Amino acid sequence: MNKTKKAIFHSAIKIFSKSGYNGATMDDIAFNAGVAKGTLYYHFRSKEEIFKYIIKEGTSIIIERMECIAKNEHDALSKLKALCKIQLSLVYENRDFFKVIMSQLWGQELRQLELRHTIKGYINYIEKYLRQAIDEGSIKNGEVSFMAYTIFGTICSATVYELINEDDRDIHEVNDNLVGYILSGIKK
C-alpha cells in the first residue's frame, strides 16, 4: 500500500467509524487524509469502493498477522489460543476498524453482503485450526462451522464490552479469560 492509499485507508476507517457509512463523505475522507479530492477520486471512484478497500485490506492485515504468529505454534490448540489473542489485540489496536465492520454487518446493500462474505472467509480460516485441533484430539468433535462463529462472536462480544466500558485491563488477562471461557465454558 503506497503512502497516499495508506493515508486514505486510515482516514476512511476513522470517518466511517465516527460518522457511519451513510454520514461519511468523500470530502471528509479526503480532508482527514490530507489529500485533494481529485487525488482521492484518482484512487477510488466512490465511497463504496473505499469501503470495500478498507475491509479487504484490513482483513488481509489481520490474517497475515495471524499466520505469522500461528506458524510459531506447534499444535492446533496453541494456534487457536494465539488466534484469539491476536484477534483480540487487533480489536484493541484498531477499534475504529472493528466499529466499521460491526456497524455494516446487517442490511442487504451490496457492501454489506460482500462484508459478510469476507467475514465468512475469515470464519473458514478459524475452521481450519478447529479441524486440526479436533484431529489432534485437543478439542471435542462438533459442528466446526458453528464453533468458528462462536469464537468469532465471543471475541466480538469482548470488543463490545471493551468499547462500552473502556477498561484499561491488561489484554493478556482479557485473552486468558476469553480463551478459558471459549475452551472450558462457564459451567461450574
Amino acid identity, residue 151?
Answer: I
pLDDT computed for residue 64 by the predictor:
86
Contact 163, 99 (CB under 8 A): yes
According to DSSP, residue 72 is labeled: T
From the list 78, 94, 102, the residue with the least C-alpha distance to 152 is: 102
pLDDT computed for residue 68 by the predictor:
87
Grid cell digits, residue 69: 504468529
Contact 113, 170 (CB under 8 A): no
From the list 4, 3, 108, 121, the residue with the least C-alpha distance to 55 is: 121
Contact 112, 104 (CB under 8 A): yes
Domains of the chain: 1-45 (1.10.10.60), 51-184 (1.10.357.10)
pLDDT averaged over the chain?
87
Residue 188 — pLDDT band, cuts 50, 70, 90?
Answer: low
Task: Reply yes or no on whether the pLDDT at 168 is more than 70.
Answer: no
Contact 98, 59 (CB under 8 A): no
From the list 148, 14, 12, 120, the residue with the least C-alpha distance to 59 is: 120
Residue 26 — pLDDT band, cuts 50, 70, 90?
Answer: very high
Alpha helical stretches, state H, 24-143: 26-33, 37-43, 47-70, 76-93, 95-104, 110-136
Burial bucket for residue 123 (CB in 10 Å: 0-12, 13-18, 19+):
middle
Q: Is 75 helix (H, G, I), strand (E, B) or coil?
A: coil
Q: Which pLDDT tens digit goes with each residue over 43-58?
A: 999 999 999 999 889 8
Can you tell me the mean pLDDT for 58-81? 84
